Structure 1
Amino acid sequence: MTKTIAALLSATVLIFSGCGSSTGPEVAKTGYEGKKINTYLQGLHVDVDTAKSKLEAAGFEIVATYTPVKGGTTVIFTNSELKAEAAKPKRAQAAILRLFIDDKEKTISFNNPVYFGKAYMQGEYNHAVFNAQLEKINAAFPDLKPSVDVWDFDALATYHFMVSMPYFEDTDLLGEGTNEELLAKANAYKKGKLKIFQMKLSDNSYLLGYELGSRTSKFTSKIGRANAGLLPWTIVIEDGKATALSAKYHIAISYPLLDMSGFMGIMTVPGAVVNDLQKTFK
């Protein structure tokens, strides 16, 4: 029975079809090479307090909660292992995981740590670290299933939606100055009401969760509330620059099944995201 349960838990992370091109050397073989991997882990509804308690019992730290859509809550969480990886230069985005609790649809949806870890850490991806987070989540929430959203594991480190679209490293520049000046602006803008969380990762890097304008953030209702956990947006302050993942990249990798028609339906959103966030650092 134990072996059967272990096999079922492992199965939640993979859809065994398709392949992608190799993106370079791995720290170690993962077993995911040449396969598709699910973006999310989904399950039956639990309330926010219950979810937070389960996560804390599994060794995670609750960073913040946020309401991205009516009747939905994003729970942002981390632990020392994730923060240690994210403290590496230009890897701050890997510091957090997200759980979206949908009270309307009565479902929950976790970011798959392996999927996003591979995308954000790229050539520095350490499978042991991110797979350990997956195992903790599966143990705390044992009935999770793989999402229909998938992508080729091998292609995640070089993910982009299509030719001429941004990669992970093509970030949006929001402002420049000393780290201290940028943090002060982020905390002062609109009296800090838009800042959801602030996390120090090293003496030189910080990750902030930030709220977009009310009109901008409505795009999730158009392309699918099930993945609304990509909000709040995150800002990295590092080396005297405030940056954010390119809006086109962040939306596309969070909605891997979104086609060109879907993108055209929200064509003004990426520009609006940058505009919203740049106001903070003027």
Structure 2
Amino acid sequence: MKIYTKFLLVVAMLFASSVVSAEDKEVSTYLQGAYVDVQTATDKLKSIGYEIVTTYAPVEKGHTIVFTNDALKAEGAKPKRAHASVLRLFIDDEAKTISFTNPVYFGKAFMQDDYNDVVFNAQLEAINGAFAGLKGSEDKMPFDDLAGYHFMMGMPYYEDIDELAEATNEELLARARAYEEGKLLLFELKLSDKSTLLGYEIGKETKKFVEKIGRANAAVLPYCVSIEDGLASSLGAKYYLAVSYPQLSMGEFMTISDIPGAITTDLTKPFKK
């Protein structure tokens, strides 16, 4: 009986250890693989049910494909979750590589306690099925740290958004469409009657930060703006850059210390009366 009891105790300890290990598992920020061109990638994404939202050039000789589907839009339609409605694929025509935003990583970061593993793992499986040989990036973070992530003490969390303007949704959308004759509005994705996600172009000088701290993560752009319940907002730039570049050191962050403020300034301009 004592031997049996000890056996059960060992099994229980091993089980507990496996649970802790699963919870503490590190998740790669990006899924990287062999080069395919924009048209080939677009065709592959469409073949597995994705809608192409826009194709954008964040850097010279590089393109980001922003894509979505009904499941992602349904998640993004939940209150304050609009940024989870799209995924991105950066195609580097210079380095001849591709890099997807990992659905599980950004799903957990942007959905917080509303994260649905079934939905975001399904995206991961679909992408891996269509693009063979993808491997996790060196950029990564423990899964359980993603929902409460901030770069360091005093830095913003996911919920610490940049509030850009208040008005009716219709008025805010009208301003975004009209500013600079709509040339900076990269996409408009309606998620519900109360929520729309916009892709917006930031200034030419502002977006140079990508080349400075790592073009491999250029899927960080285009920057997005949420229009929801009469508020135009964007993810706090100090949060969004840090979660997109989790290996960024304090020294590297200081080299772009003016960029978060510049991003907020750029995104506020379209919504001024």
TM-score when normalising by structure 1: 0.89
Query: Which one has a larger percent helix, Structure 1 or Structure 2?
Result: 2
Give the gaps of 5 or more residues in structure 1: 1-28
Task: Note if 1:137 corresponds to 2:111.
Answer: no
1:152-171 paired onto structure 2 within 5 Å? 152-171=142-161
Task: Note if 1:234 corresponds to 2:224.
Answer: yes
Which residue of 2 is the match for residue 272 of structure 1?
Answer: 262
- Using the TM superposition, give the Cα deviation of residue 242 of structure 1 relative to its aligned residue in structure 2, in angstroms: 0.2
3-state DSSP class of the match of 1:237? strand
1:110-125 paired onto structure 2 within 5 Å? 110-125=100-115
Q: In 2, distance between residues paired with 1:215 and 1:246?
A: 19
Kept in 2, the 8 Å contact 1:97–1:111? The answer is yes
3-state DSSP class of the match of 1:266? coil
Give the gaps of 5 or more residues in structure 2: 1-18
Can you list the C-alpha shifts for 1:20-73, whole angstroms capped at 9, x where unaligned? xxxxxxxxx998411111000000110000000000001111110000000000
Task: Note if 1:78 corresponds to 2:34.
Answer: no
Q: In 1, distance between residues paired with 2:23 and 2:53?
A: 32
Which residue of 2 is the match for residue 219 of structure 1?
Answer: 209
Aligned-residue RMSD, C-alpha: 1.1
Which residue of 2 is the match for residue 12 of structure 1?
Answer: none
Kept in 2, the 8 Å contact 1:172–1:274? The answer is yes
Runs of 4+ in 1 over 3 A off after TM superposition: 29-32
Give me the identity figure in percent. 61
3-state DSSP class of the match of 2:23? coil
Q: In 1, distance between residues paired with 2:20 and 2:185?
A: 37
TM-score when normalising by structure 2: 0.92
- Which residue identity is paired with 1:240? G
Q: In 1, distance between residues paired with 2:236 and 2:26?
A: 24
2:118 is aligned, of 116, 122, 128, to 128
Task: Note if 1:89 corresponds to 2:79.
Answer: yes
**CA spacing shift, 1:260–1:278, aligned 2, 3 Å:** same
- Which residue identity is paired with 1:184? A
- Which residue identity is paired with 2:160? D
Which residue of 2 is the match for residue 55 of structure 1?
Answer: 45
Which residue of 2 is the match for residue 5 of structure 1?
Answer: none
Which residue of 2 is the match for residue 41 of structure 1?
Answer: 31
2:242 is aligned, of 214, 231, 252, to 252
Which residue of 1 is the match for residue 166 of structure 2?
Answer: 176
Kept in 2, the 8 Å contact 1:30–1:127? The answer is no
Kept in 2, the 8 Å contact 1:117–1:125? The answer is yes
Larger radius of gyration: 2
Q: In 1, distance between residues paired with 2:108 and 2:20?
A: 11
3-state DSSP class of the match of 2:104? helix
Q: In 2, distance between residues paired with 1:97 and 1:33?
A: 24
3-state DSSP class of the match of 1:202? coil
- Which residue identity is paired with 1:71? K
**CA spacing shift, 1:186–1:64, aligned 2, 3 Å:** same
Q: In 2, distance between residues paired with 1:33 and 1:126?
A: 15
How many residues are aligned here?
A: 254
Q: In 2, distance between residues paired with 1:38 and 1:59?
A: 24
3-state DSSP class of the match of 1:129? helix
